Amino acid sequence: MELDFERCYRAVDSRDQRFDGWFYTGVTSTGIYCRPSCPAMTPKRQNVRFFPSAAAAQGAGLRACRRCRPDAAPGSPQWDVRADVVGRAMRLIADGVVDRDGVPGLAARLGYTERHLHRMLRAELGAGPLALARAQRAQTARTLIETTGLGLAEVAFAAGFGSVRQFNDTVREVYGATPSELRISRGRQPATGGAGTITLRLAYRPPLHAAALLDFLALRALPGVEEVRDGTYHRGLRLPHGTGTVALTPADGYVTATLRLADMRDLAPAVARCRRLLDLDADPIAIDTTLAQDPTLTPAVRAEPGVRLPHAVDGFEMAVRAITTQQISLRSARTTLTHLRSATAPLNLPVDHEVDGDVDLPSRRQPHDRQGGLGAFPSAEELLGVEDVGFRMPGARRETIRAVARAVADGTLDLEPGGDREEAVRRLLALPGIGPWTAGYVAMRALGDPDVFLPTDLGVRRGAAALGLPDDPKTLDTYANRWRPWRSYAVIRLWRTS
């Protein structure tokens, strides 16, 4: 990825936090790399190099700045919205696929050879998949070192390292300190909350309209899975090695996330999914600038800057929700989904989040979680294991849900962030009972497509009419072309207007 030196240097000189995560500043005279908004004195031009990823900076022999903590910067918006192989690879690496399945597993998921994948990532990011995963492991390790009381050997394996020696060498190389020194230098005890509990800050690019996010999630909250209470969003999570819960509280400049995990190896994917859920890696300035060019949206953008597009922590869950919501109210859909979840309850109990001393041991399952009984939405396999998947639901719609579950379970339909968006939509439309609205809604929220428009959606048409726009689906769809490539965000704003 080409980085224009003058533009990058101006961002560093002005300490512009909007560019945090877009690139990293390497200072050759000190041997460190920083985020663009680092408060330290601006380095001289001749001592500066710019890198497209933290892994590339580390590969050049630089260590992370202890002052601005560049590895904690928001992720690049490119990898959040791009639908190409590199964007998909970055989302899968963030979800821990390399740690779980290795580079061969990542390449297989993307349909490319390891060699070709490595070449593409090196060209765009200055680092291959192993180096990118290693940088993420280092960040996960630092978080565990500083926020938990786990022993350092437990931290090493929970962060995805193959050995304690590898863990020690990586932390020393990336942070310029040993794991023990990082823990001592933090200068405080781990946050209270019990074993398996981690509290951390999730950075974002301002502005963030927190009220819009919480309103959206509260309106659609499914009892037993999620709830919004006192300005905090709570939900259960299904993760690669177990389940967990999270409480997300928006604050000025960051979102506080309190995670309770059955297995600490799930920290990185849990963080990645929470960031995607709240759309924290978006570039709100770019989005709002495009939408505000339309005079009909200008007042709304000025009144509510930074409205985000809530995504999903579970693609299959979002598909079931979309199918269930077809032609009925959100309230009726919530009743149906609650019944569906109850039908799978014996297979989907929440966990007691006490962590065994050996992180490789399976977690213990208990009948009640200690944070209000929140559990994960049923998986495709669990849903296929029960006979009654509908409550006052037409038989055809029940079969559609089962068809999606079968396709997800056998791997023919990939609804996770690293999936191919066009292929997923094509496969969804091939299933009986799924039309353009359902496929588009899933693409927008489960797959994170920023440029989906839903011209037949009743809320979209009402919002358009309220703004004086045409509400005829065909005419409205044509009009919406001026909102490209952010039509999904226009949908959110029309829903808020309706």
Question: What is the phi/psi pair of residue 455, to 5°?
Answer: -65, -25
Q: How far apart are CA 153 and CA 163, in angstroms?
A: 8
Q: Is 19 within 8 Å of 36 (Cβ atoms)?
A: yes
Is 457 one of the catalytic residues?
A: yes
Amino acid at 427: R
Could you say which of 34, 65, 68, 274 is catalytic?
A: 34
Q: Return phi, psi of residue 95, to 5°.
A: -85, 0
Burial class (CB in 10 A: 0-12, 13-18, 19+), 395: exposed
Q: Is 126 left (phi over 0), alpha (psi -120 to 50) or beta?
A: left
Beta bridge partners of 20: 23
Gap between the Cα atoms of 307 and 292, Å rounded:
12
Beta bridge partners of 49: 26
Residue whose C-alpha is closest to residue 374's, from 233, 252, 205, 191: 233
In the block, residue with structure tokens 């993307």: 110
Sole residue written with tokens 């495709």: 380
3-state secondary structure of 2: coil
Q: Which of 371, 372, 316 is nearest to 344 (CA)?
A: 316
Helices 210-219 and 487-497 pack at an angle, to 10 degrees, of 70
Contact 256, 271 (CB under 8 A): no
- Which contacts of 345-352 are long-range, i.e. CB under 8 A and separated by 24 or more positions? 347/378, 347/382, 347/385, 347/386, 348/375, 348/376, 348/377, 348/378, 348/379, 348/382, 349/375, 350/236, 350/243, 350/245, 350/374, 350/375, 350/376, 351/242, 351/243, 351/244, 351/262
Catalytic residue among 266, 283, 369, 457: 457
Q: How many CB atoms lie within 10 A of CB 28?
A: 16
* Catalytic sites, residue numbers: 34, 457
